[in-house]
Each structure stands twice: as structure tokens, then as C-alpha cells.
């Protein structure tokens, strides 16, 4: 089961867990209210997994590739790690499925506080268009992930502030409606 919690404000290594003291866990229901959805799938058999095929069909995730984030596998590794950890949003949903390794997605809650989501092998997550977020490896420094898209991939990240984009406005409207 995916684990999430409110982050502390320390400036230590971004790859550390950053749990607040006392610990403040975040439930899957709280994540759903932010538009963040999670599935636990069979990463050892992702090529033939009927659950993944069903989700891809239902959500129209027609395009995919696989990225390995490790210093020996990803060109310009240090630059990419910095880019991934910059707070940003996308104009489309971000869908990631962890096939090997682990890492963290950080998302902002409705009060602009960071929630850290620990992702490991078999976890698939969707982050809605317009949510501020970032990604980092954990202390294992390795993840292999499937990236899924509806149609052709759009790789553009818009660093904060990016409130002028319609996707951000639509996301804020979603949060308002979810709170009612």
C-alpha cells in the first residue's frame, strides 16, 4: 500500500523521508480529494498484466515509455534530478508506474503544504493537470518507471508560479468543489 505523509520543513537531503514529528500520515482518501489516484499492480508482469491493460483502456493511456533514473543510466543525471525536484505543474495528467526501485512524489495540498508520497515497485499514480508537484529519488538512488500519456506525450513542465494556465484554474475549481 502506498504511504503518504506531511513533510517537515528541514533543508536536509531531498532524498530523506522528511516526516514531520509527530508523524502526520495522509490517507488514500485524502489524496483522492486532491485528485491523486493510486493503483498497486504486478510490476513483474507489466507487459501482460490485465489490470494495467484495463486501466490503460479505461483512461485512454495510449502512449508509454520507460525511464531509468540512475547516475549510470540517465544522461545529464544531476541536471535532470534538479529539474524533477523543481516545483512545477503540467497541463496534462502525469501518470507514473514504478517497475523497479523507489522514490517520492511531493504534492501540494489545498493549504499549500507539502505531502510526500512514497512510491515503490508496483505503485502507479496519477497526478492531475494543474497540481503543483515535484519528484525525487529516495536514498536508494534508483527508479525504473513507466510514463503513460493520453495521446502524444507533452513533456513541458511549468515551474511555479504558473497560476495563469487554465489547467491550474481548473484544478483550483476541482479543489473548491471537492471541499463542498
Three-class SS of residue 119?
Answer: strand
The number of residues in the chain equals 180
Q: Which three cell numbers stand for residue 89?
A: 505543474
- The binding site for Ni(2+) comprises 88, 90, 94, 133
CB 78 within 8 A of CB 151: no
- The binding site for Fe(2+) comprises 88, 90, 94, 133
Q: Which one-letter DSSP state was computed for residue 1?
A: -
CB 124 within 8 A of CB 118: no
- The binding site comprises 88, 90, 94, 133
Q: What is the CA radius of gyration of the chain?
A: 16
Task: State the alpha helices, DSSP H only, in the chain.
Answer: 28-33, 50-59, 77-85, 166-179
C-alpha triplet 33, 127, 82: angle, nearest 5°: 130
Amino acid at each position: 500500500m502506498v504511504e503518504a505523509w506531511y513533510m517537515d520543513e528541514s533543508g536536509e537531503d531531498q532524498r530523506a523521508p522528511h516526516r514531520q514529528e509527530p508523524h502526520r500520515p495522509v490517507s488514500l482518501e485524502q489524496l483522492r480529494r486532491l485528485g491523486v489516484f493510486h493503483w498497486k499492480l504486478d510490476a513483474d508482469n507489466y507487459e501482460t498484466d490485465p489490470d494495467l491493460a484495463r486501466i490503460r483502456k479505461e483512461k485512454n493511456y495510449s502512449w508509454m515509455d520507460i525511464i531509468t533514473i540512475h547516475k549510470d543510466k540517465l544522461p545529464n543525471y544531476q541536471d535532470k534530478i534538479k529539474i524533477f525536484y523543481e516545483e512545477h505543474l503540467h497541463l496534462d495528467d502525469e501518470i507514473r508506474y514504478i517497475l523497479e526501485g523507489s522514490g517520492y512524489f511531493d504534492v501540494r495540498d489545498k493549504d499549500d503544504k507539502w505531502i510526500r508520497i512514497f512510491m515503490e515497485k508496483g505503485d502507479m499514480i496519477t497526478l492531475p493537470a494543474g497540481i503543483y508537484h515535484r519528484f525525487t529519488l529516495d536514498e536508494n538512488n534508483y527508479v525504473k518507471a513507466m510514463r503513460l500519456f493520453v495521446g502524444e506525450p507533452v513533456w513541458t513542465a511549468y515551474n511555479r508560479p504558473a497560476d495563469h494556465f487554465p489547467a491550474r484554474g481548473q484544478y483550483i475549481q476541482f479543489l473548491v468543489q471537492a471541499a463542498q
